[in-house]
Amino acid sequence: MVFARKVWKLLVAIKDGLALLFLLLFFMLLYAALTMRPNIGTVQHGALLLKLHGAIVEEPQIPDPVEQLLAREAPLQEYRARDLVRALRLAARDTRIKAVVLDLSTFLGGGQVSLAEVGAALDEVRAAKKPVLTYANAYADDGLLLASHASEVWVDPLGGAFVLGPGGNRPYYARLLEKLKIEAHIFRVGTFKSAVEPFMRNDQSPEAKAASMALNGALWEQWKADVAKARPKARIDRVTSDPVAWLKASGGDGAKAALAAGLVDRIGDEVQFGDRVATIVGKDRNDDGPGSFAHTGLRTWLAANKPVTPGKKIGVVTIAGEIVDGDAGPGTAGGDRIAELLDDGLSQDFAALVVRVDSPGGSVSAAEKIRTAIDRYRARKIPVVVSMGNLAASGGYWVATPASRIFADPATITGSIGIFAVIPSFERALADIGVTSDGVKTTPLSGQPDVIGGLSPEVSAMIQANVENGYGRFLALVGKARGKTPQQVDAIAQGRVWDGGTARQLGLVDQFGSLDDALAHAATTARLDEGKWHPVFLGANQMSLAAVFQRLQPEEEEPDGARLAGDLAGMAADRQRGLADRAVAELQRLAGMRGLQAYCLECPIRADGKPQGELALKALVGRWLGL
């Protein structure tokens, strides 16, 4: 019997080993197949088709491979803004591309700066005498900003185009926390550091309201100016001054109202739109279905047009998403991961470094780790230039302080120079269900911070002192970088958020310009001649198993149920879900906050609406019940 058991264990071990070997071989073959350069012959003479099933971002997140495998539908995607810009510029020059087509039916939007950059690239296509056509069953602000750069804008007969404008209400939780008997201990510096207001108030403070109004007003004026320049016939004032009268003038028909206001050019369904494109670029050789036309997708187009790499190298590091401790990312700015990328880049003989920031900030310790890694380039006399994208606020500004020059866009959201910390405790809630705490202490700090028994006066005073010290350090860093005294920085800091135009007037930004402008300035500073340098994006060539699985998704497959609602009722439902997701994200932040924060909670949330409401809420409730 003992011998039989040993034989059985041996057979099981052999079986497990063979299974593991075959699994490893499968993934190695899969990796090799997916990383091979696609056949350039797959590029068709016709249209460059951009079916944007998701959001435009600075740096896409890589989804969990297990979730991808188990998902019953294709996931929404994220598109790197610079990839879209490069694809469009290539299309403008390539004779194989006769037109550019954007399908925005499942487009979730993006930051205003990113959209403006893509819009400028669309203008280059039109300047090359190539038509740009867009289609959607519904347009909102982000989609309209892109579509305004098209030569033909189509909308579904049952859809419409609606201008909502920036701003709106946000949830406040003070009364909820009071009912739950949860103490939110707030430590902050800054009159305008409204990141903590949702946890201590039931409404917006007058100071935060004034700052928010100024910011949203500037973004709104920039949006209208961009649309008016690209589409002069659009009657934005008619749509926004009296939207009810505007819609009723067309009998409540959203598509006809959009046409009357010059927001769209034609009304038709997908087949009619496709037939129209086919008259320009020809029919698809591989698909004779209704509405088909010859086209090449984004992924294939980029793979067939590899970037050229002449001359010296200029490093580019991307700091995108919330700044957190650890190795998180891409799409989230893990302090350890980015610092490691920067340190690895020191061995690559970069002539200069450009730091691309698109972040609302986050952990002070992670931001400081990134800043010191950037400073190591300055110590080696390597020029450092910062390019701000949609967001460079709070910790996002902290990491920009080593730069010799800062570029931004008028629609960039920046500033928010302030520090805060929030620590919840549950002594009252637990006492109601019969849970109390007791013990012995050898010092006033024994057992502190105590989230069960409450924070002692001593530890509260120490945390506040630590927050004030962090704010003082923030002021000193900004002052040294911008040639100001800490007192001068304090006058424009206090946690207030600024638009890029105002930030330039205040001296927080040096000049307006894109990432390309920042790269050109870095090259000039490094005394490199035009055409004798190329950018190297740190971490861009890292391939993970998750990224391999992402490539399995067909490029043009549309996620089930992902189409945007074509009417106001549907759009209201979408916004309601977005508000719920934001509320859950903010409550999660309260429950899971670690250390001092330089974070701009006033800044827009991600266009993809993460995190998902139901699962996140269940996790949060479970966590509180567990405590």
The dihedrals phi and psi of 527, each to the nearest 5 degrees, come to 60, 45
Cβ pair 63, 546 in contact under 8 A: yes
Q: How far apart are CA 567 and CA 159, in angstroms?
A: 6
Q: Is 526 exposed, middle or buried (0-12, 13-18, 19+ CB in 10 A)?
A: middle
Three-state SS at 270? helix
Please provide the distance, in angstroms rounded to a whole number, between the alpha carbons at the two ends of the chain: 50
Nearest to 298 by CA among 575, 60, 535: 60
| Max Cα distance, the chain (Å) | 90
Which residue bears the tokens 């707030």?
A: 186
Residues with catalytic function: 193, 394
DSSP labels for 27-96? HHHHHHHHHSPPPGGGPPSEEEEEE--EEEESSPPPPPHHHHHH-SSPPPEEEEHHHHHHHHHHHHH-TT
The dihedrals phi and psi of 407, each to the nearest 5 degrees, come to -105, 145
Residues 6+ apart with CB under 8 A from 14: none
Alpha helical stretches, state H, 36-140: 65-70, 81-93, 112-127
Which whole-number Å values give the CA distances from 267 to 149, 238, 260, 270, in the listed order?
18, 20, 11, 10
**Pairing of β 419-425 and β 183-189:** antiparallel
Give the Cβ contact number of residue 599 at 10 Å.
29
Extract the tokens encoding 432: 């109601």
Amino acid letter, 62: I
